[in-house]
Each structure stands twice: as C-alpha cells, then as structure tokens.
C-alpha cells in the first residue's frame, strides 16, 4: 500500500510540475503583474483558456487538450483523496472495509472504498497520464513557439 501511495504522490508531482511549466510559459505575457495561482484547479483553468487561443485554428488539437485536462482534473481529485485521506480498516453502519477517511474542514467526512488494488490501479493510471503529459507539453511548446503569443 505504501509503495502505491508513494508512486501516486511522485507521479502527480511530475504532472503538476509540467502543468506549472506550461502556465509559466505564458503567464507573465498574459497576466502582467499578477502572481500565478498556487491552486492546481485555478492554474488548469487558465491553461485551458490559453489553449483555446493557442489552438484556435486547430479544433481537434484543442478538443484533445481539453480531454487531457479533464483526465488530469479527475486524477487530481483521486490523488487528493489518497494524499489527504487516512487509509485503513473502516467500520461504518455495521460494514467493515478497507478505505479512506477524508476529513474536510467545511464538509462532512467521507469514507470511500479504497483497496490496495485500487491504489495500485490509480498509481498505474497516473503513470500513464505522466507519460501522456510529456507528449502534451511537447505539442504545447510547438504550438506556443509557432504562434506569436
């Protein structure tokens, strides 16, 4: 289990760093005098907006980027659950299962199922997404250097 959690954390760190790199590549020109947001969700929204202008004449690439960003956003939610949750044996309403206890300051605590197999599948999913991220960044850089933006 700890190996899967470690892999999830490391794979996500790579994806997050690449998304940050893409944002940094346009941030100061598009948002002079503003700090880039720390929140991944906010950075990803700005990145998606920039991509609209970047691939304005290539709707299939824009659509592919949007789908990629949706997968990244979904993976981020799962990663948040794992990294901010407490894994272990949970007993609720007479049911015992392996899962996560996720405490939110402003919401009710959640107790989703999360077996070791599910953790390992998420680690694998993030590994594939990290590999895809390399290709996405290369395409992003090509488009950015090919435009005057």
pLDDT in tens, 17-55: 999 999 999 999 999 999 999 999 999 999 999 999 999
Instruction: Summarize pLDDT for 56-105 with one digit per residue, the tens.
Output: 999 999 999 999 999 999 999 999 988 888 877 888 888 888 887 888 77
Q: Residue 114 has what pLDDT? A: 80
Mean pLDDT of the 116-137 span: 95
Q: How many structural domains are present in the chain?
A: 1
What span, in angstroms and rounded, lies between the C-alpha atoms of 107 and 101?
13
Q: What is the pLDDT of residue 107?
A: 83
pLDDT score, position 88: 77
Q: Distance between CA 143 and CA 149 in Å, rounded?
A: 9
| Res 89: pLDDT | 82
> Model pTM?
0.85
Cβ pair 123, 34 in contact under 8 A: no
Structure tokens at 129: 């997404």
Q: Which stretches does DSSP call E strand in the chain?
A: 86-92, 95-104, 107-110
Query: What is the domain extent for residue 83?
Result: 2-29+36-146
Give the integer Cα–Cα distance in Å for 68 and 136: 8
* 53 contact partners, CB below 8 Å, separation of at least 6: 149
Mean pLDDT estimate for the chain: 91
């Amino acid at each position: 289990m700890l190996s899967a959690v470690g892999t999830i954390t490391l794979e996500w760190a790579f994806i997050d760093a690449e998304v940050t790199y893409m944002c940094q590549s346009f941030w100061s020109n598009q948002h002079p005098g503003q700090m880039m947001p720390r929140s991944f969700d906010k950075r990803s929204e700005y990145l998606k907006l920039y991509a609209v202008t970047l691939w304005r004449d290539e709707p299939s690439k824009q659509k592919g980027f949007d789908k990629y960003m949706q997968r990244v956003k979904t993976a981020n939610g799962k990663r948040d659950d794992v990294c901010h949750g407490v894994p272990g044996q949970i007993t609720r309403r007479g049911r015992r299962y392996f899962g996560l206890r996720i405490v939110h300051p402003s919401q009710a605590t959640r107790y989703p199922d999360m077996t070791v197999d599910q953790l390992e599948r998420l680690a694998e999913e993030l590994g594939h997404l990290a590999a895809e991220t390399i290709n996405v960044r290369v395409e992003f850089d090509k488009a950015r250097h090919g435009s005057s933006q």
